Structure 1
């Protein structure tokens, strides 16, 4: 895979994001829907969702470094929450929330650590983030990766063995955790991220959403699910294409890599808020 050019890797990454990554957030408006949802509540939902996207776009323009940190923190929590969404412990449990944060932190920092030279080059090529290398150094990244990984293993042991009483689940999660890091070590960074985000994370969430809607609706099948996914998936893809064309045409000083990051981040913020509410709703059901 190392022989693949950057452009080829980027095309594969975007293809997987468009095919699976974006669709996994395309039914956010349905997940929290009540049986008799009125027009007013729909307007409130879209105002909230689009408002968060708009505010985050402005934040990226005015405070790029702050926005990058926010994106990392949101991603840490969201990835960890989706991984352990089925664990039967109250979502407000502090140990569970810490597990979400450190599991996601280990996953993302592991990807950076295993491909530091390549990934930091993406930051250096974009003037908005060229000072990142002074903060994200190999030394600081190594210790964050090591610390978050160790804490993750201890929290998984505490929650899965002591609280849930499932050694089998603990061993399964340890295996998954190690295999993901092995994949990050052996696969080029863009493809490693795409395979994790699109195939592991997004497919899992899509499956959870499909099973949930199948329980709530009569005669609900895969065809109905795809129809539910299509409208907002297509809208997002068209929006992404317009963004790419606009930045290319006006020759803004930002790399395709960071353009992809910003696009994903502005969708991730409202999506993660919705998913957090949905997971809490599921625990109460």
Structure 2
């Protein structure tokens, strides 16, 4: 069984599970997967930076920049939540699309990178539009403004147009193994899944199955040469300290929000952005190389 087939079967299983369980169980499973697999897939950035800088001698400079980006992201979400949220979504759109397509193109160029971004916009657009009510509630808690369903509809349409246009421009750049029908089927499957599942659970399924796990495979290959059981264990061991620090930091933030009169959802998104944005930069250079 090849890797995309495994992802597809797992997605169908989780779609079936969505029909069987209630919303509270979906929420528990979502947090569990995001705080385990989701965070672990971004917990080995230091090792990846060492790989990227091993011939340049600029490790300390990049580590300092990495820490600065984390702190700046947290400050931005607390001080300028609207701008920070917009930037976080734009960066995440590109990152999701890059992970989905970077192994399926022969080379990365302007059109392929625009395809990455457009596809990410489409995925988030589907997620937001089919869960517009809950999305609006979270956005309102983050920035104090309510967005109606039309914003999410146009966001989804923009993603569809961008994906189609730059997909056509990239046709000759796809590898011979690229499966056009599978990609179309996946978009339809995601649309149905996002419609049926609650917002957090829908996000968790895509984030874990179609982003975190493929990213883990890529990272293990970059660090250890190939993905196998022994290297997976090695990756988890090397990630454990950073994962534990991340969880401890979130735990501390959870219990300090009441003192600063900041809602936990703001801190949670600031936390996710703080570990995501520097990770996006690391993965951009890793995939580029």
Q: Aligned partners of 2:212, 2:175: CA distance in 1, in Å?
A: 28
- Say whether 1:226 aligns with 2:236: yes
Describe the superposition over 1:99-133 as per-residue Cα deviations: whole angstroms up to 9, x where unpaired: 11111111111111001112212233x2x5221x2
Secondary structure of 2:41's match? helix
Describe the superposition over 1:161-216 as per-residue Cα deviations: whole angstroms up to 9, x where unpaired: 33336485222222222212221111111111111112321011001112222318
- Say whether 1:140 aligns with 2:147: no
Q: Aligned partners of 1:221, 1:77: CA distance in 2, in Å?
A: 28
Secondary structure of 1:26's match? coil
Q: 1:203 aligns with which of 183, 202, 213?
A: 213
User: Is contact 1:102-1:151 (8 Å) kept?
Assistant: yes
1:155-194 paired onto structure 2 within 5 Å? 155-159=166-170, 161-164=171-174, 166=176, 168-194=178-204
* Count of residues in Structure 1 that have an aligned counterpart in Structure 2: 270
Which residue number in structure 1 is paired with residue 267 of structure 2?
A: 259
User: Is contact 1:95-1:155 (8 Å) kept?
Assistant: yes
Shift of 1:34: 4.2
User: Is contact 1:153-1:174 (8 Å) kept?
Assistant: no
The alpha-carbon distance between structure 1 residues 234 and 164, as it changes in their structure 2 partners (threshold 3 A), is same
The alpha-carbon distance between structure 1 residues 158 and 170, as it changes in their structure 2 partners (threshold 3 A), is farther
1:29-40 paired onto structure 2 within 5 Å? 29-34=46-51, 37=54
Structure 1 regions of 5+ residues with no counterpart? Answer: none
The alpha-carbon distance between structure 1 residues 58 and 182, as it changes in their structure 2 partners (threshold 3 A), is same
Which residue number in structure 2 is paired with residue 119 of structure 1?
A: 135
Scaled by the length of structure 1, the TM-score of the pair is 0.84
User: Is contact 1:115-1:189 (8 Å) kept?
Assistant: yes
Structure 2 regions of 5+ residues with no counterpart? Answer: 1-17
Q: 2:80 aligns with which of 63, 81, 85?
A: 63
RMSD: 2.7
Q: Aligned partners of 1:31, 1:99: CA distance in 2, in Å?
A: 25
User: Is contact 1:156-1:170 (8 Å) kept?
Assistant: no
The alpha-carbon distance between structure 1 residues 62 and 153, as it changes in their structure 2 partners (threshold 3 A), is same
Shift of 1:150: 3.3
User: Is contact 1:83-1:201 (8 Å) kept?
Assistant: yes
RCO higher in 1 or 2 (8 Å CA, sep ≥ 6)?
A: 1
User: Is contact 2:49-2:62 (8 Å) kept?
Assistant: no
Q: Aligned partners of 1:114, 1:150: CA distance in 2, in Å?
A: 18
Scaled by the length of structure 2, the TM-score of the pair is 0.83
